[in-house]
Amino acid sequence: MKKGLLVVISGPSGAGKGSIYRQVIDRTGMKRSVSVTTRQPRPGEVDGVDYYFRTEEQYQQMIAAGEFLETAAVYRNYYGTPKAPVFENLDNGYDVLFEVDVHGARSIKKQYPDAVEIFIMPPSFEELENRLRGRGTESESSLRTRLSSAMNELGKYERFDYIVFNDDLEEAVEKVIAIINAEKCKIKNNMSMINSLLGKK
Ligand code: 5GP
């Protein structure tokens, strides 16, 4: 069976990667990876849908049990990707989409070099600040932390396979879907199909 594609959307907080992620999931039917976090749920967030919300103690137990593909401390909270469901989906031929911070993207690429990684870039730093403020979910100190790490993360674009500038959400979503479709047509991702057509094992 053809293996699924692992696609990672990353970039600084406020670049709009969350909105792009949700749209791409809706339009492609790709499998989501639900992360585990120690941060408090925001209003409207549902355990098991947006995140698995866990205490720090529970999180440490999961680390010790080797349950994560990658884990990172982001803004004083832990975030991690549970390993088992991802590989199960890929082995069953499903494409999986991730939304993680820049460090998470790096760890995933190290462990799984076939991951396709897309960096979402805001059109300007001013726009990034407007978006973070507009969200209205962060305290002033959390906003400051997010803004200064965004500056740092903007410099990490070289490690990615693709970059998408998100000044128009619709266009950005279309670009991400185009990237995914092109990756699915790569020769190296179709060898089992090619070999079976050619009668090779
Ligand atoms: P938020 O608290 O706004 O939901 O997410 C904060 C940051 O954590 C975002 O940049 C988001 O992409 C990142 N994040 C969410 N899940 C994961 C994960 O499983 N691993 C890593 N490394 N980062 C994550």
Q: What is the pLDDT of residues 61-98, one digit of tens each?
A: 999 999 999 999 987 899 999 999 999 999 999 999 99
Q: Which of 35, 71, 117 to mutate to test the pocket of ligand 1 (most atoms within 8 A of CB)?
A: 35
38 Cβ below 6 A of ligand 1: no
Which two structure tokens, joined as six digits, stand for 8? 């990672």
End-to-end, the C-alpha distance of the chain in Å comes to 13
Residue 168 Cα to ligand 1 middle (Å): 22
| Residue 13 CB less than 6 A away from ligand 1 | yes
pLDDT digits (tens, 9 = 90+) for 126-152: 888 888 787 777 788 888 888 888 878
Output the residue whose Cα is nearest ligand 1's atom 10: 101
How would you classify residue 199: left for phi > 0, otherwise alpha for psi between -120 and 50, otherwise beta? Answer: left
Residue 12 Cα to ligand 1 midpoint, Å, equals 10
pLDDT tens for 21-73 read 999 999 999 999 999 999 999 999 999 999 999 999 999 999 999 999 999 99
**Nearest alpha-carbon partner for 59 in 43, 42, 76, 46:** 76
pTM across the whole model? 0.87
Question: Looking at the chain, which runs of residues are DSSP E strands?
Answer: 6-10, 31-32, 36-37, 52-53, 68-74, 77-82, 96-99, 116-121, 162-165
Helix axes 17-28, 169-184, angle to 10 degrees: 50
Ligand 1 pocket, mutate which of 54, 70, 79, 153 (most atoms under 8 A from CB):
79
Residue type, 113: P
| Alpha-carbon span 105 to 121, nearest angstrom | 14
What are the distances in angstroms from CA 162 to CA 7, 10, 95, 118, 131? 11, 10, 18, 5, 23
In the DSSP assignment, the letter for residue 114 is T
Q: Give residue 101 CA to ligand 1 midpoint distance, Å.
A: 5
User: Is 99 close to ligand 1, i.e. is its CB under 6 Å away?
Assistant: yes
